[in-house]
Each structure stands twice: as C-alpha cells, then as structure tokens.
Structure 1
Amino acid sequence: MLLAIAVLIISGAALIVSMRQASIMNKQTDILLEQTKSSAWPRLSVGFDQSWSDKTLEYLKIPVHNKGTGPAIIEGVRITYNGEVTKDWWDLFRKVKVPDSINTGISNRGIYNSVISANESFYWMQLENDPRLRHWVYEKKEKITIEICYKSVFNDYWLFRKEGLNGTTVIQKLDTPECPLPSDEMFKS
C-alpha cells in the first residue's frame, strides 16, 4: 500500500513537471514566432519629391519605399481629396479641378493588389510632362490624404496614413484579420 501511495505521489509530481514544461515550451514558441515575424515586417513610406529651378517646379514625384525586412502585400489603397474619395489619378485631377487646357498625362505604377519587396523603391506617380499640372497639384497637396492597408507574410496588418503630401505620416499596426478599407473606396491606379 505504501508503495502504491509513493508511486501515486511520484506520478502526480511528474504530471505537474510535464505541465510546467509544456507551458514554458508554449511561451518559447510564442517568442520564436514573434522573432520570426519581426524578421519579415514590412514598413512602407510614401514620399513627395519635388525639384525647383528659378521658381519653376521641374518635377513632382510620389515615391514608395518598403523600408522593412519583409514584403508588403498591398490589400487596399484609398486617396481622398478634401475628404472626398477618388478612384484613380484622373478622378483626383477632376476633384482638384484641373482645367481641361492642362495635359493630365502622367507616368504611374499601380500598387493596389501588389507586393512590394523589402527595400524595393519606385515612383508611384510622376508629373514631368506639363509644368502647369505639376503646379496645380502642388498647390492642392495639403488636401490630399493617402491611406495604404498592407500585410506581412504572417497576415499581420498595418495602415499607412499620410495627410497632405508634405504632411505627417502615421503607421498603425492593426488587430484585424483583414483590411478595414471599404472595397468600394479603393484607389485603382
């Protein structure tokens, strides 16, 4: 009987030790997962490049750069002008009331539903052809807001927001399983 009680106590102690080890292993797994995720975090930046020569705006460009360590999977883009959603660059030009006499030809690259590799840089939009268009957009730049919803390969979501092309940038990590930007408000260019 004494032997059976001793075996029972030893078995109980072994069970407690096993449960504690499993708990520690779960914590270690969580830490390793977070370390792995941090080695693949994307971090977008959107700039506003301009060049002036003798009070003339030579070029106006919007560069995009992924400064992170992993790819940025773009799931949503929204650009508003004065709080009003725009569908593409030409819709933006209409909303800023670019006159018909100004050529709205631009060079651009779409980013909606794309992947931007770590350390990849490119010009999202370039205004180099018509100096009047550059000046027109430059004068309206503070009323343009850019929002980009992107995720990592681990499905962690971030929302990039830039109010005014020269304005402040806020990048917020989201606790959502999907992009919160409404699909009917997506900027398609």
Structure 2
Amino acid sequence: MEAAAPPRESRPGRDWDRITAIAAVLIGLAAVLVSVYTVLLQREQVRAEVWPRLDFYYAGVDGEFRVSNKGIGPAIIETVEVSIDGVPVRDWAEVTARLGLSDPGQLYSSLWGAVLSPGEHLAYLIPSGQEAFAQIRAETQRISMTVCYCSALRDCWLAAPEDDGQVEVDACPVLPPERRFQN
C-alpha cells in the first residue's frame, strides 16, 4: 500500500502563479485594445487617401458648365437629380425647354454613372455659343441640381453646383424614375 501524500502546507505570503496569470490577461487585453485602435486609425488613413470632392464651376471663356474632382481619390457619381422651379426634369433638352430657351446645338456629357479620377474635369453641359451660355447662366437660380457621389470605400456625399458645401450621407438615395436625370 502506498502512503498518502502529505497535505500541502499553505505558505503565508503571495500566490505568484495567480499574480502572473492576472498580469498575462491584462497584457493580452492591452494588446487587443492597441490592435483595435490601430485598425481604426488605419481605416481613417485609408479613407483620407481615397477622399473625392466634386467642384462645380462655369468655364466662361469656353462657355461650359463643368465639374471637377478636387479630391485625392476617384469620385463615383451614383445619382443626379435636376429640377426647374422645383419640378424634376429628365434631361438637358427638357431643362432648356422649361427655361423657355432653345439651343439645338448644345452638347452634354452624362454625369450619372461617371467616375472622375482625381484632378479630372468633365464638361457636363456645353451650350452652342456664348449667347446660349449666358442665357442658361442667367437662369441658374431656377435650376437645382443635386449629385450624390461615393468614394472607393463607399463613403458618400451630396453636392450641388449652387452650394459649395458637401453633405456626407450614409448612402446615395434611390430615386424613382421620374426624378432620375438621364444625362
């Protein structure tokens, strides 16, 4: 028969094994918190590296209405909405008709679905001459245009030519067909 092991004597003082285990847990928790903070910081850094910013302007010498991407990442244009006196219109021909103007020689580029690289400019409306340009420009207070665009990370903004500000939104609105501007 084997003799039973003598009962372990409890030593007065500290339990170093428990202290070591608690210290390891605290160090692990601190490492996780630092990792989470680093990931959040990197996300903001990447977000800043792909940030687009649309700028609308008139090219008076050329007689064009233009948009440019002044940001450092591509601008993906998701939706365009244009209205005259608060009534939605679907294309530039309807814009000139509602304004009571006639410019059969005007040219345009589609903004909807365009992707503007950083520094890229796009003439979205080119009247047929300086007189037609001046007529449309004189009526710009009646024209409201809202463009929703996103970055490569799907951060989105609303912009308007008549307003220098950009408003960040969760996502671009889904417009019903009667409010979608086609070109």
**Superposition TM-score tier, normalisation by shorter sequence:** 0.7 to 0.9
- AA aligned opposite 2:164: T
Contact 1:104/1:130, CA 8 A, preserved across alignment: no
The alpha carbon displacement at 1:139 in A equals 2.5
**What residue number does 1:171 align with?**
166
Contact 1:73/1:115, CA 8 A, preserved across alignment: yes
- AA aligned opposite 1:186: R
The alpha carbon displacement at 1:130 in A equals 7.9
The CA distance in 1 between the partners of 2:133 and 2:65, in whole Å, is 12
The alpha carbon displacement at 1:182 in A equals 1.9
- Show the 5 A alignment for 1:1-189: 5-51=15-61, 60-98=63-101, 102-129=102-129, 131=131, 133-163=132-162, 168-174=163-169, 176=170, 178-180=171-173, 182-184=175-177, 185-189=179-183
Contact 1:50/1:60, CA 8 A, preserved across alignment: yes
Which runs of no fewer than 5 residues in structure 2 stay unpaired? 1-9
The alpha carbon displacement at 1:129 in A equals 4.3
Contact 1:87/1:186, CA 8 A, preserved across alignment: yes
Contact 2:56/2:160, CA 8 A, preserved across alignment: no
- 3-state secondary structure, aligned to 1:12: helix
Contact 1:74/1:114, CA 8 A, preserved across alignment: yes
Which has the higher Rg, Structure 1 or Structure 2? 2
Which runs of no fewer than 5 residues in structure 1 stay unpaired? 52-58
Change (3 A) 1:42 1:183: farther
- AA aligned opposite 1:16: L
Change (3 A) 1:62 1:130: closer
- AA aligned opposite 2:175: P
The TM-score with structure 1 as length reference comes to: 0.82
- AA aligned opposite 1:144: I
Q: Percent identity, aligned pairs only?
A: 22
Change (3 A) 1:162 1:122: closer
The CA distance in 2 between the partners of 1:171 and 1:117, in whole Å, is 18
